[in-house]
Structure 1
Amino acid sequence: MNIRPQMITERQAAESSYSKWQPTPQALADMRKRYGDAQSFLSIFTPDLQIAAARHPERTYTGTAPTLATIAVGYGEPVAIVWICIQLENVNLFAGVKEKMPVSRQKELSALILTEYPFLKASEMLLFFHRLKCGRYGRFYGSVDALTITTSLLQFMDERRKESVRYRQPDTAAPATTTPSSSGITYEEYLRLKEQKQQHHEHE
C-alpha cells in the first residue's frame, strides 16, 4: 500500500485525539531521528520484523519503538492507519481463506485499533500479528474477519500485561550476557542495520 504525500498531514487532530497518551516532544524528536520521515518509517517497520519481535520479546516490550500515538502525532494519523493496514494486508495474504478483508474494512479496523490501543508500541503490534498468524488465538473460518482480530487483540493484551511485568522487573540475578538469536543478530541490531540500509539507499 503506497502512502500519498497528502496523507502526511492533520497532526493537530491526532494530538487532541490522543491527549491521554500524548507523546513528549522528545519522543517525537527521537522517532524522527531514528527512523526519518514517514516513508522511511514505513520501509523499516515492515511485516518482516514480526519474527524479530517474537524472538526478542523483552526488547519488544521495553525497547524504544514508538507507540501508535507517537506515530499518529509525529507523522499524521493517516500514516498510523496506513501502517496498521499494511500489517492487516499481510495477514490477508497469509490466511488461507477464500474471502479476504477489503481495504475499506482494513481502514475501519485500523482506526479502531488506533483509537483503542494508542499506547501500544509498533514492536508490540508486530508481535501481536506474528502470534495471530501462528494460530495462537484460533483461526479464520471462511474469511479474514475483523471481529476475530479484535477478539484476538484482547487476548494479546492479557498476555502483554503478564509478560511486560516480568520483563520490567529488576533482575536480581547475576548479569547475563546477551544471547544472540539463531541468525546471530539481536532485534536491536537488526533494526539498526535496517535503518543504516535505508539511509544508504536514500543517499544513492
Structure 2
Amino acid sequence: MKNKIQILQSKDATIDDFLLSHNPSIQMELCHSPDKCYFGDSPTLSLLKLAYGSRAAELWLVPQLTSVSNYCGLKEKVSEEQLFELSQLIATYYHWLKTDELMLFFARFKATQYERFYSYFDPQVILTSLKQFLVERSRAYDRRDQEIRMREMEEDRKNAITYDEYLKMKEEGLLPECS
C-alpha cells in the first residue's frame, strides 16, 4: 500500500494537484475507455484518504457532484449540505471504487444511462444510479475474468500432451519421479 501512496504522490504531490489533474472536465475522455477505468491504475477513494488525508475523497467528489448538478440544469442549485453528505456517503460506502470508475459513472449519468433528476437535486437518485453502475462494473469484471480463464485454458492446451505421449515419456523415463 505504501508504494501505491508514493506513486500517487509522485504524480500529484498534494490533494490540490490531484484535484486539478482529475477534475470533471476529463469525464468524457474517460468514457471512451471503460476498461481502462475499471482495470487501470487510478487510485481508489481509500487510497486518496491514505495519501492526502481523511477528507481527500470528499474534496475530490464534491466537484464531480457539482458538475453533475450543473449539467442537469436543475431549478435550484444543489445545497452544500447535500453535496457534503453525499460525498461522505460515497467515500464511506464505496471507498473501494477507483476515481476513474466514478468519473465514468458520472459521465454515463450525464448521458442519461441511469436514473434522472426531476427538477431538483436528489442524492438518492445518484446512489440508486451508482448501484446500477456497480452491476455493469461487476459484469465487466466477470467478463474479464472469463477472458483470462479462457486464455489460460488455451495456453494449457498448447502445453498439454496426449495420453499416448505421456505413456511413451513414462516408458522412456523422461517424467520426474513422484514422491
TM-score of Structure 1 vs Structure 2, range by shorter chain: 0.7 to 0.9
Is contact 1:61–1:167 with CA below 8 Å preserved after alignment? no
Partner of 2:133: 156
Cα 1:43–1:149 shift into 2, 3 Å: same
Residue among 28, 37, 42 paired with 1:60 = 37
Q: How many pairs does the alignment contain?
A: 149
Q: Which moved more, 1:110-119 or 1:51-60?
A: 51-60
Q: Pick from 124, 129, 139 the counterpart of residue 106 of structure 2.
A: 129
Residue identity opposite 2:83 in structure 1: Q
**Cα offset for 1:35?**
2.2
Task: Kindly report structure 1 stretches of 4+ aligned residues shifted beyond 4 Å.
Answer: none
Do structure 1's residue 83 and structure 2's residue 56 form an aligned pair?
A: no
1:96 aligns with 73
The one-letter code sitting in structure 2 at the alignment partner of 1:49 is I
Counterpart of 1:5? none
Whether the 8 Å CA contact 2:46–2:95 is kept in 1: the answer is yes
Deviation, structure 1 residue 37: 1.5
The structural deviation recorded for 1:49 is 1.4
Unaligned runs of 5+ in 2: 152-179
Superposition deviation, residue 129 in structure 1: 0.3
Q: Quick check: 1:58–1:167 contact (8 Å CA) kept in 2?
A: no
1:32 aligns with 2:6: no
C-alpha deviation, 1:137, in angstroms: 0.7
- Partners of 2:11 and 2:142 in 1: how far apart? 26
1:104-147 Cα deviation digits (max 9, x unpaired): 11010000001100100000000000011111113210201101
Relative to the length of structure 1, the TM-score reads: 0.70
Distance 1:100 1:156 in 2: 25
Secondary structure at the counterpart of residue 31 of structure 2 = helix
Which of the pair has more CA radius of gyration? Answer: 2
Match of 1:11 in 2: none
Pick from 113, 116, 126 the counterpart of residue 139 of structure 1.
Answer: 116
Cα offsets for 1:142-195 (capped at 9, x unmatched) = 2011010010011011010001232453274xxxxxxxxxxxxxxxxxxxxxxx
Deviations 1:51-97 (A, max 9, x none): 12210111111111000000011101222101100101101110122
Tell whether the 8 Å contact from 1:92 to 1:101 is kept in structure 2 after alignment.
Answer: yes
CA apart distance, 1:31: 0.8
More RCO (CA 8 Å, sep 6+)? 1
Gaps of 5+ in 1: 1-23, 173-204
Q: Provide the rounded CA distance (Å) in 2 between the counterparts of 1:128 and 1:96.
A: 18
Letter aligned with residue 65 of structure 1: S
Do the aligned partners of 1:85 and 1:106 also contact (CA within 8 Å) in 2? yes
Q: TM-score, normalised by structure 2?
A: 0.79
Letter in 1 for 2:111: C
